[in-house]
Amino acid sequence: MADGKTKKVGIMGGTFDPIHVGHLILGEAAWRQFHLDEVWFLPAGNPPHKKNRAGRATDEQRVDMVQLAIQSNPHFVLSLIEMNPDGYSYTYRTLERLHSQYPDISWYFIMGADSLTDFDTWREPQRITDACQVVVATRNQMDDGEFQTLLEQRKSEFNHNFLRLDTPNLDISSAHLREMIRTEESIRYYTPDNVLQYIIKNRIYK
Ligand code: ATP
Ligand code: MG
């Protein structure tokens, strides 16, 4: 590899409450488009005041669901580096830790366009772009021109390349799935069957 790194790894961070096909499709699309070796899924820990809220999964359940969802994919990996038991983890810190732990890996941070919209409010965004390539997928029916403009805007603000992930608009969110489960609508095919079974068995999101 030109930068002397020997491996390329994608990072899919999120609360995954629950994980759904949108997350999985983004990971797979990034793996394919950028010739990644692996994609790591990093469920984020909840801070104490957000733990064990009614209608939400516990940290442990979210980790279990990610594990179930990715287990059939040999290049998807679960990482607990953001499962910080006492609160939020900051992306820049995670990336800097990963950098020093794995100096041979170049990192591709994968996000939806909603995250790029509020990227400048994230803690230390410049340190994030210093540490990785940022890969962005469209979301929420964002108009193509608007998406392109946002990518260009971030490029000039951070003097960094923001890469566009080539995916269709995937109209799905964890919030919508939680609402569907609460109102007893079927979420079959919105998440893998084994995750669906886990949600039913553990009566999550009721
Ligand atoms: P919630 O509704 O609880 O916010 P979510 O579906 O947005 O959940 P998150 O765990 O918040 O899922 O998202 C993790 C990352 O995945 C974010 O960068 C988000 O932009 C991206 N993402 C999630 N769903 C989609 C989707 N359908 N299309 C594109 N990006 C997505
Ligand atoms: Mg979200």
pLDDT tens string 68-86: 999 999 999 999 999 987 7
Instruction: Provide the pLDDT for residue 86.
Output: 78
At 184, the pLDDT band (50, 70, 90 cuts) reads: very high
Please say whether the beta carbons of 98 and 107 come within 8 A.
yes
Instruction: Provide the pLDDT for residue 20.
Output: 98
Instruction: Provide the pLDDT for residue 187.
Output: 97
Host domain of residue 20 = 7-172
- Using CB distances shorter than 6 Å, the residues near ligand 1 are 14-17, 22-23, 26, 111-112, 114-115, 137, 139, 170, 172-175
With the most atoms of ligand 1 within 8 angstroms of its CB, the residue from 62, 142, 173 to mutate is 173
Mean pLDDT of the region 125-134:
97
Q: How far is the CA of 189 from the centre of ligand 1 (A)?
A: 17
Widest pairwise Cα distance in the chain: 52
Residue 186 lies in a domain: no
Q: Which residue's alpha carbon is at the smallest distance from atom 14 of ligand 1?
A: 14
Mean pLDDT of the region 58-76:
97
Closest CA to 79 of 24, 129, 41: 41
Residue 142 lies in a domain: yes
β-strand partners of 42: 13
Query: What is residue 160's DSSP assignment?
Result: S
The predicted-structure confidence for 23-34, as pLDDT tens digits, reads as follows 999 999 999 999
pTM (2 decimals)? 0.96
In sequence order, the 6+-apart residues with CB closer than 8 A to the CB of 20 are 172, 173, 174, 177, 190, 191
- CATH number for the domain that contains residue 144: 3.40.50.620
